[in-house]
Amino acid sequence: MRRSKLALPALLAASALVLSGCATSSGELTLTVPDVPMKAELGAFEGELNIVNWSGFVDPKWVDPFTAETGCVVNSRVAGTSDEMVTLMRTGEYDIVSASGDAALRLIVGGDVAPLNMDLIPNFSDEIAEGMKGQIYDVVNGKPYGVPIGRGANLLQYNETVTGGAPESWDVVWEADSPYAGKITAYDAPIYIADAAVYLMSTKPELGITNPYALDETQLAAAVELLKQQNTIIGEYWSDPVAQITSFVGGNTVVGTSWEILKKFAAQENLKTTLPKEGSTGWYDTWLVSTTSPNSNCAYAWIDYTSQASVNGAIAMNFGMAPANIAFCATDADTQAHCDQFAAEDEAFWDQVWPWTTPIEECVDGRTDVKCTSFQDWTNAWVTVKG
Amino acid sequence: MLRFSRTSRWSLMAIVAVVLIFMYAPLSVLILNAFNERQISAWPIPEWSFKWWAVAFESEPIRAALLNSAIVALGAMTIAMLLGSLVAFALSKYEFFGKGTVNLLVVLPIALPGVVTGVAFSNTYSNFLTPAGFQIGYFGMIVAHATFCIVMVFNNVFARLKRMNPSLQEASMDLGEGLWGTFRLVTFPQFRTAFAAGALLAFALSFDEVVVTIFTAPPGVDTLPLWILKEMARPNQASVVNVVATVVIVLSLIPVYVSQRLSRTENEK
Amino acid sequence: MSAIQKAPNRPLSTYLHKRPNTRLVALLALPMTWLVGVYIISLTLLLVTAFWFIDPFTSKVIPGFTLENFVNIFTVPAYFATSMRTLGIAIAVTVVCILFAIPLGIFMAKIARPWVRNLLAVAITLPLWAGYLVKLLAMRLTFTEEGLFNWLMAPFGISGPGFGIPVTILTLAYLWFPYMALPVFTAIRQLPLNLFDASADLGAKGWPTVFRMVLPLITPAIIAGSVFTFSLSLGDYLAARFVGGSTQMIGSIIASNINLNPPVAAAFSMVPIAFVVMYLMVARRTGSLERM
């Protein structure tokens, strides 16, 4: 399946994308973003750095050397959801966040995070996986806002004892006549609407969806319709990893959305994951720096430090995702095994994955004749799906 | 002793048994899972092991989180004991306009989802206090917790005061005791049990709070529930959580014992 | 020592004794400063946005006045259904807790031997310390398809309810039960024994005694407990997330809107407030708060 990616003409990727034949993203898509100045040069370290992060991104193993080197004492706050991340960042108490794409664009458009001066982050290099460069959720209007950390795909996990083999299509979680009705799980967040859109792209081409994050009102209505149909056959929605794992292990769920790492944690032979033919969505995490950060020198130092292969890889392995810096893969046999399991170097795999992006009113697929639905519309819609 | 027929006695005992099973079956799943070899809790337990105990006892973050939780809960409890009792006295002894509103004010913090209280406080801290040059930091968490703990003390003390015979206090006053003396010698001994029960519930509620804490805890400070949340979000050692919960249950025998002693003296009078 | 000698030594006492209004103000000053000055102001700053608009373009809140957010609560079926479902769950949790707490309290206070009583008193408070999230997980493991409940009940051919509203109610009752049981037990224990004896002497058997004498006397405690169980259930949404299957509660709507669309979150925050106001009014109307 050939698919052109969301990437905007930005950074190095610009010319390559125009040639990719992607009509929608070849034009200069300009978003309305508050004008936030970029840091010009590094100064003295402030001695403190406050981070909002996903569990596992900040660990003494790599924080201690950083503090020893820079004198920046790292205080971390673990957020459970993207919504919490955005709320915590808007308190102004935090300097830096490890946001996923569904939170990143919200923060960028809201002016909560500042564009980055990449000259001050020398470790951000060519070794960053091609598919993680210049994505719309972290590069807007040609200005980079985020530095990639790692990524993971939303895969279809199945209990092989029950299904017999790998389902080829997502239809087992969407269609009302699914043999696993009542034993299906789905991700519990508005961003999951994009998964419905991905399925509709192949099953209902007449809707004309070209990007699951650029849905006009009719397209969103169709996705919501599909989600409501799914609601009747769903066993449970999950947003907590432990809950999802116990659901598969405890027999409540047979098929549903999952991450490679959750399958690994479940540690059961009969639980497997697959990427169905329709493709899927995925989360791409990046470091973003607060506009009002009083500790921006420490923040830049942290981003630079965590962009080097060894630290970036350690974060990726600790959390369980594909590292952004693929130079890490060749370190030793263990790291190579990790990269292979999480498809870190397999761009063909990631070509089928749509990175989470906050939907906004300006269509991110480049359409200018219609208004797209924003994340706020999605959130309202999600409430009605769950009823 | 209350005279019940044999049948009522047995049916009461049966209900008590059901309650105990209902309360302790999930709890025993939890405690047994502290000895689960796997990373993630399961039932039935596939393999037994003590390895999570070793992990838990070596962990510095767990000790820090435990200490933070205890400090915050103690602070919140103390404030709640004072404020809750004051409101309870006012509402039980006096008729005044706006009584219902005061009652509502006290209940509100637990009726609203924690996220509302949490975000409201964190907005105030970061939009008003910090710009004014006042770093509330750690204390902000205690303030927020105390606010939703007041109702615990209030409700228990209020219910007790309502049943108290006011003539006793009047008699004491008539006999020449001042307000403080009357309170110390007559009123307090009568509501001490309810006071202790309320304080215990306040401590427990604060000790266990997740959502308000997420938004009010200063960066880098974890309470025990925040630490648990963190472990459950990255479940490569989620079973440690069960060890910690088991230890906390055992440790909690101390405050429970103290409050028992407090009420027992009254009981034996 | 006579009263006359003592009185002049306590000018403050005498002053306050003569002026109940001053006493009232003195009692309420500190708590009200705290609740209004710290909490209500914070809350108002957040909730006043319920009447405001949101700029769809920048998603920033614009001051103004609109009732649209409130109208939506009643006109959007999903919103209304969620509100009613949450109310139903909170009431059910409270009823379950009351039904268990009264027999337990009577048994502990009036039937059990002292050592059993003390043991039970410890037993009902102990689960409070296990940790909210850990208990949610324990309930998951208990009621999951291959979990403890089905494991125990399999020999009897019974299979438990899957995750859904019933398990959510049970879980919330499990979480908040001590908050009901403790006040009820405390109240029953403090009922004078001679009250029961008098009732028994008059020929009343156990149960009529319970209903005629004990229940009205412990109503304040039941109300105190139900305020906890009812209010705490209204605001909770993590339980529904863990054991609710596809159940949605008000808290989830508020939590997902609070930074994205504060006006909607603020409007929804009024729903639990309204329920609690109604609840307190009903409690007042039955006179149970005043009668005792």
In DSSP notation, B112-168 reads S-HHHHHHHHHHHIIIIITTTT---HHHHHHHHHHHHHHHHHHHHHHHHHHTS-HHH
Interchain CB distance below 8 Å, A246 and C137 = yes
What is the model's pLDDT at position A10?
Answer: 38
Q: Please tell me the distance from the alpha carbon of residue B93 to that of residue B97, in angstroms, as a whole number.
A: 13
CA distance C12 to chain A (A): 46
- Which tokens belong to C198? 């008098």
Question: Residue A99: which H helix or E strand, with range?
Answer: strand A96-100
Query: Residue B213: CB partners within 8 Å, gap ≥ 6?
Result: B72, B118, B141, B144, B145, B223, B225, B226
C-alpha angle C62/C67/C71, rounded to 5°? 130
What residues of C are in contact with residue B168 (Cβ under 8 Å)? none
| Optimal mutation site among C35, C134, C212, C248, interface B, most CBs of chain B within 10 A | C134
Provide, rounded to the nearest whole percent, the portion of chain A with pLDDT above 90: 59
> Comparing A134-138, B73-77, B166-170, which segment has the lowest mean pLDDT?
B166-170
What is the model's pLDDT at position C168?
Answer: 94
CA distance C54 to chain A (A): 10
User: Is B187 a residue whose pLDDT tops 90?
Assistant: no
Q: Tell me: the pLDDT tens digits for C244-262?
A: 888 889 888 888 777 677 7
User: Is B149 a residue whose pLDDT tops 60?
Assistant: yes
Write the single-letter amino acid at A169.
S
3-state secondary structure of B88: helix
- Which tokens belong to A131? 């598919």
The number of beta carbons lying within 10 Å of the beta carbon of residue A31 is 15
CATH number, domain B59-267: 1.10.3720.10
Taking a contact as any Cβ pair under 8 Å apart, which residues of chain B between 11 and 50 contact chain A? 38-43
The number of beta carbons lying within 10 Å of the beta carbon of residue A271 is 21
What residues of B are in contact with residue A84 (Cβ under 8 Å)? 214
Query: Residue C265: CB partners within 8 Å, gap ≥ 6?
Result: B116, C253, C254, C255, C257, C258
Q: Please tell me the distance from the alpha carbon of residue B25 to that of residue B28, in angstroms, as a whole number.
A: 5
Tell me the average pLDDT across C48-76: 76
Q: Which residue is associated with the tokens 């268990």?
A: C100
Q: Which residue is associated with the tokens 């201690």?
A: A64
- Please answer whether residues A96 and A293 qualify as being in contact, where contact means their C-beta atoms are separated by less than 8 angstroms: yes
Confidence of residue B119 (pLDDT cuts 50, 70, 90): confident
Q: Please tell me the distance from the alpha carbon of residue B56 to that of residue B244, in angstroms, as a whole number.
A: 7
> Touching check for B215 and chain A: CB below 8 Å?
yes
Provide, rounded to the nearest whole percent, the portion of chain C with pLDDT above 70: 83
What residues of B are in contact with residue C209 (Cβ under 8 Å)? 2
> Comparing A12-16, A251-255, B60-64, which segment has the lowest mean pLDDT?
A12-16
What is the model's pLDDT at position A16?
Answer: 36
- Which tokens belong to B13? 């005992």
Q: Tell me: the pLDDT tens digits for B8-20?
A: 788 888 999 999 9
User: Is A192 a residue whose pLDDT tops 70?
Assistant: yes
What residues of B are in contact with residue A260 (Cβ under 8 Å)? none
Tell me which chain A residue has its CA closest to the CA of residue B136: A93
- Please answer whether residues A137 and A105 qualify as being in contact, where contact means their C-beta atoms are separated by less than 8 angstroms: yes
CATH T-level fold of C69-291:
MetI-like fold (1.10.3720)
Q: Please tell me the distance from the alpha carbon of residue A7 to that of residue A14, in angstroms, as a whole number.
A: 9
CA B214 to centroid of chain Cα atoms = 18
User: Is A61 a residue whose pLDDT tops 50?
Assistant: yes
Tell me the average pLDDT across C266-277: 85
**Among candidates A190, A35, B100, which has minimal Cα distance to C280?**
B100
Question: Residue B28: which H helix or E strand, with range?
Answer: helix B6-33
Q: Which residues of A touch C (CB under 8 A)?
A: 32, 83, 86-87, 90, 106, 109-110, 182, 188-190, 231, 234-237, 239-240, 242-243, 246-247, 250-252, 361, 374-376, 379-380, 382-387
Q: Please tell me the distance from the alpha carbon of residue C180 to that of residue B23, in angstroms, as a whole number.
A: 14
Among A237, A243, A374, the residue with its CB nearest the CB of C140 is: A243
Taking 3-state DSSP, the helix, strand and coil percentages for chain A, each rounded to the nearest 5, stand at 40, 20, 40
User: Is A300 a residue whose pLDDT tops 70?
Assistant: yes
Range C33-37 contact pairs with CB under 8 angstroms and sequence separation of 24 or more: C34/B79, C34/B83, C34/B146, C34/B147, C34/B150, C35/B83, C35/B105, C35/B106, C35/B147, C35/B150, C36/B105
Write the single-letter amino acid at A236.
E
Strand partners, A48: A73
Query: Residue C230: CB partners within 8 Å, gap ≥ 6?
Result: B111, C90, C91, C93, C94, C275, C276, C279
- Please answer whether residues B78 and C8 qualify as being in contact, where contact means their C-beta atoms are separated by less than 8 angstroms: no
3-state secondary structure of A178: coil
Q: Which residue is associated with the tokens 């106001």?
A: C277
- CA distances in angstroms from C46 to A157, B137, C232, listed in the order given: 41, 20, 21
What is the model's pLDDT at position A295?
Answer: 94
The number of beta carbons lying within 10 Å of the beta carbon of residue A49 is 29
CATH T-level fold of A11-152+284-351:
D-Maltodextrin-Binding Protein; domain 2 (3.40.190)
What residues of C are in contact with residue A250 (Cβ under 8 Å)? 140-141, 144-147
What is the model's pLDDT at position A41?
Answer: 87
- Which tokens belong to C204? 């009343």
Q: How many CB pairs under 8 A join A and B?
A: 82
What residues of A are in contact with residue B29 (Cβ under 8 Å)? none
Among C54, C242, C248, the residue with its CB nearest the CB of A240 is: C242
Interchain CB distance below 8 Å, C236 and B113 = yes
- Please answer whether residues A280 and A195 qualify as being in contact, where contact means their C-beta atoms are separated by less than 8 angstroms: yes
- Please answer whether residues A375 and C260 qualify as being in contact, where contact means their C-beta atoms are separated by less than 8 angstroms: yes
Q: Please tell me the distance from the alpha carbon of residue A371 to that of residue A2, in angstroms, as a whole number.
A: 27
3-state secondary structure of A131: helix
Write down the mean pLDDT value for chain A: 87
Q: Tell me: the pLDDT tens digits for B129-144?
A: 877 778 788 899 999 9
Q: Tell me: the pLDDT tens digits for B7-59?
A: 778 888 899 999 999 889 888 888 888 888 887 777 777 788 888 888 888 88
Confidence of residue C235 (pLDDT cuts 50, 70, 90): confident
The number of beta carbons lying within 10 Å of the beta carbon of residue B200 is 25
- Please answer whether residues A275 and A169 qualify as being in contact, where contact means their C-beta atoms are separated by less than 8 angstroms: no
CA distance B22 to chain A (A): 20
> Touching check for A246 and chain B: CB below 8 Å?
yes
Tell me the average pLDDT across A92-103: 91
Among A50, A80, A241, the residue with its CB nearest the CB of B235 is: A241
- Which tokens belong to C222? 């039941």
Q: Please tell me the distance from the alpha carbon of residue A166 to that of residue A160, in angstroms, as a whole number.
A: 7
What is the model's pLDDT at position C13?
Answer: 64
Tell me the average pLDDT across A80-93: 85
Q: How many CB pairs under 8 A join B and C?
A: 337
Whether cis (ω within 30° of 0) applies to the bond prior to B44 is yes
User: Is A20 a residue whose pLDDT tops 50?
Assistant: no
Question: Residue A98: which H helix or E strand, with range?
Answer: strand A96-100
- Please answer whether residues A7 and A268 qualify as being in contact, where contact means their C-beta atoms are separated by less than 8 angstroms: no
Confidence of residue B126 (pLDDT cuts 50, 70, 90): confident
Return residue ranges of chain A for CATH 3.40.190.10: 11-152+284-351, 154-281+361-386
Interchain CB distance below 8 Å, C32 and B102 = yes
Confidence of residue C59 (pLDDT cuts 50, 70, 90): low
Q: Return the DSSP state at A238.
A: E
Judge: domain A154-281+361-386, CATH 3.40.50.2300: no
Interchain CB distance below 8 Å, B126 and A56 = no
Taking a contact as any Cβ pair under 8 Å apart, which residues of chain C between 81 and 140 contact chain B? 100, 103-104, 106-108, 110-111, 118, 120-135, 137-139
What is the model's pLDDT at position C38?
Answer: 85
> Comparing A94-108, A267-281, B210-224, C211-225, which segment has the lowest mean pLDDT?
C211-225
Please tell me which residue, C128 or A157, carries the higher pLDDT value. Answer: A157
What is the model's pLDDT at position C288?
Answer: 52
Please tell me which residue, B164 or C281, carries the higher pLDDT value. Answer: C281
> Touching check for A264 and chain B: CB below 8 Å?
no
Question: Residue A261: which H helix or E strand, with range?
Answer: helix A260-266
Q: Tell me: the pLDDT tens digits for A197-240?
A: 999 999 999 999 999 999 999 999 999 999 999 999 998 899 88
Please tell me which residue, A84 or C2, carries the higher pLDDT value. Answer: A84
CA distance C216 to chain A (A): 40
Q: Please tell me the distance from the alpha carbon of residue B150 to that of residue B140, in angstroms, as a whole number.
A: 16
What residues of C are in contact with residue A181 (Cβ under 8 Å)? none
CA distance C23 to chain B (A): 8
Identify the burial level of C116 via C-beta atoms within 10 angstroms of its C-beta, where 0-12 means exposed, 13-18 middle and 19 or more buried: middle
Select the highest-mean-pLDDT range: B52-61, B70-79, B241-250.
Answer: B70-79
3-state secondary structure of C205: coil
- Please answer whether residues B240 and B59 qualify as being in contact, where contact means their C-beta atoms are separated by less than 8 angstroms: yes
Q: How many CA atoms lie within 13 A of A270 on its CB side?
A: 13
Return residue ranges of chain C for CATH 1.10.3720.10: 69-291
Q: Which residue is associated with the tokens 């999802």?
A: A244
ipTM higher than 0.90?
Answer: no
Q: Please tell me the distance from the alpha carbon of residue C164 to that of residue C246, in angstroms, as a whole number.
A: 7
CA C124 to centroid of chain Cα atoms = 17
User: Is A7 a residue whose pLDDT tops 60?
Assistant: no
> Touching check for C25 and chain B: CB below 8 Å?
no
Query: Residue C85: CB partners within 8 Å, gap ≥ 6?
Result: C165, C247, C248, C249
What is the model's pLDDT at position C262?
Answer: 76
User: Is A1 a residue whose pLDDT tops 50?
Assistant: no
Compute φ and ψ for B128, nearest 5 degrees: -120, -50
Tell me the average pLDDT across A286-312: 94
Among C54, C76, C256, the residue with its CB nearest the CB of A384 is: C76
What is the model's pLDDT at position C199?
Answer: 63
Tell me the average pLDDT across C114-118: 86
Q: Tell me: the pLDDT tens digits for A117-135?
A: 999 998 887 788 888 887 8
Interchain CB distance below 8 Å, A250 and C140 = yes
What residues of A are in contact with residue C252 (Cβ under 8 Å)? 386
User: Is A27 a residue whose pLDDT tops 50?
Assistant: no
- Please answer whether residues C251 and A242 qualify as being in contact, where contact means their C-beta atoms are separated by less than 8 angstroms: no
Write down the mean pLDDT value for chain C: 81
